[in-house]
Each structure stands twice: as structure tokens, then as C-alpha cells.
Amino acid sequence: MVQVTVVVREIGRLKPNYSLKFALPAIPEVGDYISIRRPDSKLYTEDIIVRAVWWELYHGETRGVHAADDEIIGRDQGVVVECEPAIGLYSSARWLRGLEAAEGRGVKVERFAIERFSVPEEPE
């Protein structure tokens, strides 16, 4: 398992809206679809698309060059998966309202390449 921080941008902006930590079997790649299910919904999700993956690294060397017999190996300090909101298969009513409002303001909102189910959701 690898630990990642998923950062979700504000709709139509580059500014981060919120972040969540996850233990995943692999690091998501650019273009991957992610659906996040919360405890308050058994079926409906917050849907996002991966736009960038940041590797946060640390290295103990302060010089630009070091002697071969004095090699210091750096290490990772975390992985950040930057995502933007999208419309997915089970997007919640609240999630859809926000994205549809953004579309109404001229923001381009991406949709997962799959047709949505039309299953009525309980009012939020």
C-alpha cells in the first residue's frame, strides 16, 4: 500500500478546495477517474479526475556534487494526487448541483466517459 494525499481543486480553478489522505494499492495516474464515497452515502459519490501527481522528496545533501564514497540517498516524503471535480457514474445530487451551476457560468466540466445511471437519490 502507498499513502497519498488527494487534493481536489475548486470547480473551474487551480486553487485547492480540500484534501484527503488514502492508503491505496498503487499511485493514481493522470487521467484516472476516482470516485470518493463518504459515510453519509451508500451509493453516491464525489467524482474527480487526476490532473497531476506530485512527488515530495527529501535529500540530505546540501552540496551540488558529492564524493562517490560519501553517497547520500534521498527518500520520498509523500505523494500528492491533484484532481479536478467531474461528473461520474454515481455523482451525488449535491455534487451535480455544484458542477451544473459551474457549467451555467461557462466553466468546462469533464464527465466520466460512461453514461450515468438515473437512480433517484434521497434528498440531502
DSSP for 86-110 reads EB-TTB-HHHHHHHHHHHHTT----
The pLDDT of residue 120 is 56
**All structural domains of the chain with their residue ranges:** 2-104
The pLDDT of residue 118 is 57
The pLDDT of residue 119 is 56
C-alpha cell belonging to residue 72: 547520500
pTM attached to this predicted model? 0.83
Q: What is the mean pLDDT of each run of 10 residues along the chain (124 residues)?
A: 96 96 97 95 92 94 71 88 95 93 95 72 53
Q: How far apart are CA 59 and CA 75, in angstroms?
A: 7
